[in-house]
Amino acid sequence: MTATSTIEKTPAKTAGKRGHSKTARRQLRRIYRTRKVMAPLYATSTIALGGSVLSMPADGWKTALAATVTTTVMTAAWGRWDGRLHLKGKRRRKRLPARRDFIAALSATTTGGSLLTAMAATGGVQIGDSSFPGLLLAWGLGHGIYWWRRGKRIAAPVSHLGAQMQAWQDNVASSDGSLPGSRLVDVVTTGYGWTGTVVLKKGNWRRAVSAVHDIAGDLDKAEEMLQIEKAMGKSARRAIIAVFDRNPLQDTLDFPGPQILDTKTGRAQVGIFYDGEPVQYAFWKPSGPVHSVIYGATDGGKSRFLDMLLGTERHNGIVSWVCDPQGGQSLPRWREAVDWYEDTAQGGLAMLHEVRNIMYERSARYSMMEWTDHKGRKLRGRDHFVVGDPDPLISVTIDEAHRVLNLPGAPALVLELIQMARKCGIKIRLVFQGPKANMYGNAPESTDIREQAQSGNTVMFRTASSLTDSIGLPGWDINPSQLPMYWPDKTSTAGLGYLKGPDNRQAMMRAFFDRDPAHWATTGTTTTVEASAAACTGKAYTERLDRLAARLRGETVTLPTDAIPATFTGSGDPVAAAAAAIEAEAPAGSDDKVAAYLAERGRPVGRNTIAQDTGLTVSAVKNALTRLKKTGRAIDVGRGTWAHPDHAEAPTAPDTAAAA
């Protein structure tokens, strides 16, 4: 018989130990999972337990006091210095705690530590007649309510913003996405969707701009519902992205009125960017007027944009000259509301020749002008233009400018004006349907005109060809040709485009819409050029109102025969052109006026005295005397004095000190 042995086991005891162990671990896990929600309860319990334990030794209150002081100092240091630690390390702190969070934390450590010290010194919680249970309850509820409300306040946006970042991480920044390794930070919800900053792993912000269409696909958005631009003033690896639920520029923006122009800076707000920031257009800057070029296909918004600019000029003392070669159909409201209006290409060319006359008249006058600089010094000769001192700014708008620039001699004339007119207070504004070279005329000067014009304000509404996008705004990563013609609700997108001006933002904008240009055209007053400028012009300008009246009566109107000089070819040397023009040009009738004055004067006299007595400018007198000398009607008797040939031997007038 086989011997057997029995081994006694204690399953109940072992099971009991395992059961207690599992229960304890379960409780610890529950406490850990609920640590954020139950933190005030846990903190209150810890203070109560700590006060009871530290009350047992006689000097336990010292330990409690030391713990209170240490915790308070650490909390204060956290609030003041947490954001400044590890500035050179990889784990850079992002920001200081919010002020309200810092105050709440400091209050909790100070009051909680005071309770702990008081209980340690007086024997613990002492349930019964002691006030400690009530104080602990008040402490827990007071700080608990703030803690729970704070958690509720920050919880809502986290999940929403997290979804956007997760979509970026999964679709755009993945290895097969549009921008592998990129990050999306600083995400903010807006009234039109959300915006954030794209941080590229390699390359610069242009890489993000060029990938905008692929990013739209990755995020399952329409292409027109994304906008990416350079993050101004930040690292070149960063770009700003805006994602629209509904394009904020879809609503028509009404023109608020000519007060958009700030006469101190010369800038006007002409619309808004997609993020609500104002779009600035420069009429002038400290050095003088700013030339402009405007591009846009049919129904892009050019004409209404010009309505707004012309209304602003009329009500701010700016002289407006307008050429609408389409028979006046594009800008009909301004036919009788500007200083000079022409509705043919030939009339526009005549207008530019008169602008040239005024440019040289002002140039000669400004070169001898006495003025006071910012240091109070009196100087002679001013190399810049000041609006209204003494003359008004002249703004020349040429709509459908390609029709004028295709006329013989026009490109050379326009280039001369664009290069020299700013210092004389003349602003040239050219309007085209696109920036192709043939729009600027078939001449050697065409490319130079485009480059010079685009160095000022450049406005690009929707264009018709993607091949010209980079020509109109070189160096800009934009696609005006891809702007939609209609919004999803079938309304026009007229006024939607880009503007290179003082803001220099490569961002989508929409210009204000002037619903009633007739109101601004029929109110206010028409500003005209100064008398000296008008005196140097020909019949094309002086008879403009007569031609307009005849045109309104339905009569056929023709320009004066001398409106467009037959021999004009322009000059490749602006300085030589200026010298030749100053020598050759003078107000009509000035020669006879000066000759009659010399004959009546009876003795030699200086140029300044002649100018003062005849009402002509010094430059006009100088030019007239030069021509009279060639014809023998005036004699230079020396030292800047002049006389009629019959009086050359007469005694010199005592005012010859004013000769030069």
Q: Are 589 and 637 in contact (CB under 8 A)?
A: no
Tell me what pLDDT residue 497 has.
93
| 448 torsion bin: left (phi>0), alpha (psi -120 to 50), beta (else) | alpha
Give the mean pLDDT of 643-649. Answer: 83
Higher confidence at residue 310 or residue 613? 310
Tell me what pLDDT residue 429 has.
96
d(CA 184, CA 8): 67
- Give residue 477's pLDDT band: very low, low, confident or very high (50, 70, 90): confident
Question: Nearest 5°: phi and psi at 511?
Answer: -80, 155
Tell me what pLDDT residue 29 has.
73
Tell me what pLDDT residue 98 has.
67
Higher confidence at residue 119 or residue 463? 463
Tell me what pLDDT residue 501 has.
92
* Range of lowest pLDDT (192-196, 412-416, 470-474, 511-515): 470-474
Strand partners, 262: 267
Whether the pLDDT of residue 81 is over 70: the answer is no
Whether the pLDDT of residue 650 is over 80: the answer is no
d(CA 373, CA 97): 52
Output the six-digit token pair for 573.
């040397």
Nearest C-alpha neighbor of 369 from the set 354, 355, 385: 385
pTM for the full model?
Answer: 0.63
d(CA 586, CA 623): 6
pLDDT tens digits for range 395-416: 999 999 999 999 999 999 999 9
Tell me what pLDDT residue 371 has.
86
Tell me what pLDDT residue 657 has.
38
Tell me what pLDDT residue 191 has.
80
Tell me what pLDDT residue 153 has.
52
Give the mean pLDDT of 152-175. Answer: 68
- To the nearest 10 degrees (0 to 180), the angle between helices 410-420 and 574-584 is 100
Higher confidence at residue 533 or residue 5? 533
Whether the pLDDT of residue 9 is over 50: the answer is no
Output the average pLDDT for the chain.
82
Tell me what pLDDT residue 5 has.
43
pLDDT tens digits for range 431-464: 998 888 778 888 888 888 988 898 899 999 998 8
Tell me what pLDDT residue 192 has.
82
d(CA 169, CA 179): 10
Tell me what pLDDT residue 588 has.
61
CA distances from 169 to 160, 166, 174, 366, 536 (A): 15, 5, 6, 63, 69
Whether the pLDDT of residue 40 is over 90: the answer is no
Tell me what pLDDT residue 656 has.
43
Whether the pLDDT of residue 79 is over 90: the answer is no
The kind and range of the H/E element at 222 are none
Whether the pLDDT of residue 516 is over 70: the answer is yes
Helix (H, G, I), strand (E, B), or coil: what is residue 194? strand
Helix (H, G, I), strand (E, B), or coil: what is residue 52? helix
Tell me what pLDDT residue 91 has.
40
Helix (H, G, I), strand (E, B), or coil: what is residue 21? helix
- Give residue 334's pLDDT band: very low, low, confident or very high (50, 70, 90): very high
Give the burial string for 86-120 (b: 16+ CB within 10 Å, else e).
eeeeeeeeeeeeeeeebebbbebbbbbbbbbbbbb
Q: Tell me whether residue 473 is exposed, middle or buried, using C-beta atoms within 10 angstroms of its C-beta: 0 to 12, 13 to 18, 19 or more.
A: buried
pLDDT tens digits for range 575-611: 444 455 555 555 667 888 888 898 888 888 888 888 8
Whether the pLDDT of residue 84 is over 60: the answer is no
pLDDT tens digits for range 527-568: 999 999 999 999 999 999 999 999 898 888 889 888 888 755
* Range of lowest pLDDT (31-35, 500-504, 567-571): 567-571
- Give residue 14's pLDDT band: very low, low, confident or very high (50, 70, 90): very low
Indicate the residue type of 31: I
Whether the pLDDT of residue 653 is over 70: the answer is no
d(CA 103, CA 126): 30
DSSP 249: T
User: In sequence order, which ranges of 383-495 are alpha helices (DSSP H)?
Assistant: 401-405, 410-420, 446-453, 469-472
d(CA 564, CA 572): 19
Q: How many residues does the chain have?
A: 660
Tell me what pLDDT residue 152 has.
57
CA distances from 522 to 306, 328, 338, 515, 518 (A): 16, 17, 10, 14, 6
Q: Are 311 and 521 in contact (CB under 8 A)?
A: yes
DSSP 89: S
Contacts of range 451-455, beta carbons closer than 8 Å, 24 or more positions apart: 452/291, 452/415, 452/418, 452/419, 453/291, 453/292, 453/293, 453/418, 453/428, 454/293, 454/500, 455/291
Indicate the residue type of 145: I
pLDDT tens digits for range 244-299: 888 889 888 899 999 999 999 999 999 999 888 999 999 999 989 999 999 998 88
Whether the pLDDT of residue 316 is over 90: the answer is yes
What's the longest Cα–Cα distance across the chain? Answer: 171
- Give residue 652's pLDDT band: very low, low, confident or very high (50, 70, 90): low
Whether the pLDDT of residue 94 is over 50: the answer is no
What is the secondary structure of 275-313 as a DSSP string?
Answer: TSPEEEEESEETTEE--EEEE--TTSSHHHHHHHHHHHH
Question: Nearest 5°: phi and psi at 475?
Answer: 90, -10
